[in-house]
Amino acid sequence: MHNHTENRIRALPCWKHDIEISVLSGGMTNMNYRIRDGDQCCVVRLGDDVPEHLILRENEGVSSEAAARCGFSPDVLYREPGILVIRFVDGTVFREEDIRDPEVLVRLTRLLKQFHRDMPRALNGYPILFWVFQVLRHYRNMLEQGNSPYRDQVPGLMGIADRLEQDVGPVNLVFGHNDLLPANFIDDGSKIWLIDFDYAGFNSPLFDLSNLASNSQLDVEAERRMLGLYFDGEPGDRLWKSYNAMKCASLLRETMWSMVSEIYSELDFDYAGYTRENDDRFRRAYQRYKQEFWS
């Protein structure tokens, strides 16, 4: 840890004791630190706005506070521009295989349904819209302007995105998390907590559901159970197609997110490897989608 970062953390006015600082791994757009302040443990998230990814830290802060008020996320103890301090949750950070457990998937689906319903009532501040297809158009611009090595692939990818947007069709808006990596769920033994609201905003519920499924590699049977529980009934043909189109878009967004990060991010992370992994997942899902819905 740089002395400047340590001094910045120690100077925060929220501490009651001489603090102990340790680095937490896993941040892909920010840096995270575990703090012991007497008997209390908390997490400090350090990160400025990230315009290439449309991340606004003010939106992250107000979303985190709203999620805490609703009981979905740990309490926010302090925040200022570029800094968010939240209560530390001592629990199990989920992995892909954890989410594929049928009982866990039921708990997460119910959590998301309640999150989508309750969050708008608790929000303060300007509403943010996260529409994945507009995010993809933004990434197209970033890749072209940044002289990306993937720029020759961009026109073909955006042609796919345009077709998928048509196939998703009309949507109902909810307040979504929009970044449902397994590591953003923590189980403390009695409750599952949802963390990290960098991309939070109004969206179709299908994005969170398909994002959860694609990031955890759920099989078709698990996906249909998830949709049936969320929508209170077996998904019909129209919903199933819309969901699968959104799943392809979710995987394409993760791929292009990583392509953009390869150019702009200064964090120590293997973005090239992450691009290859997600590009492979996207192309496999897209091939299945074409076979099922375009043949």
Give per-residue pLDDT as tens, 77-117. 999 999 999 999 999 999 999 999 999 999 999 999 999 99
Quick one: 37 and 154 in the same domain? no
Q: Count of domains in the chain? A: 2
In terms of domains, do 152 and 104 share one? yes
Structure tokens belonging to residue 68: 């805490």
Confidence band for 29, pLDDT divided at 50, 70 and 90: confident
Q: Which of 87, 110, 131 is the last residue of a domain?
A: 87
**Residue 161 and residue 220 share a domain:** yes
On whether both 148 and 244 belong to a single domain, the answer is yes
Domain interval for residue 183: 92-293
- Report the candidate in 195, 193, 54, 188 with the shortest Cα–Cα distance to residue 128: 54
Output the six-digit token pair for 130.
């996260």
35 and 112 together in one domain: no
CA–CA separation, 197 vs 65, rounded Å?
10
Query: With 70 as the cut, is the pLDDT of residue 1 above it?
Result: no
Look up the CATH number of the domain holding residue 22: 3.30.200.20
Q: What is the pLDDT of residues 185-222, one digit of tens each?
A: 999 999 999 999 999 999 999 999 999 999 999 999 99
Name the token pair of 205.
């519920």
Where residue 106 sits, what CATH number does that domain have?
A: 3.90.1200.10
* Average of per-residue pLDDT values in the chain: 95
Residue 126's pLDDT is 84
Phi, psi for 10 (deg, rounded to 5): -65, -25
Residue 267 has a pLDDT of 81
Q: Taking the CB of residue 53, how many other CB atoms lie within 10 A of it?
A: 20
Contact 118, 177 (CB under 8 A): no
- Average confidence (pLDDT) over 234-261: 97
User: What are the structure tokens assigned to 261, written together?
Assistant: 């990060």
Is residue 154 located within the same domain as residue 198?
A: yes
Which among 31, 60, 87 is the end of a domain? 87
pLDDT at 76 (0 to 100):
98
- Residue ending a domain, choose from 66, 87, 108: 87
**Predicted pLDDT at 127:** 85
Q: What is the mean pLDDT of residues 154-176?
A: 97
Same domain for 120 and 266: yes
| 200/66 Cα distance (integer angstroms) | 11
What percentage of the chain exceeds 70 in pLDDT? 100
**83 and 15 housed in the same domain:** yes
Q: What is the pTM of this model?
A: 0.95
Tell me: pLDDT of 154 over 90: yes
Question: Whole-angstrom Cα distance, residue 128 to residue 200?
Answer: 8
78: phi then psi, degrees, rounded to nearest 5: -170, 145
Residue 114's pLDDT is what? Answer: 98
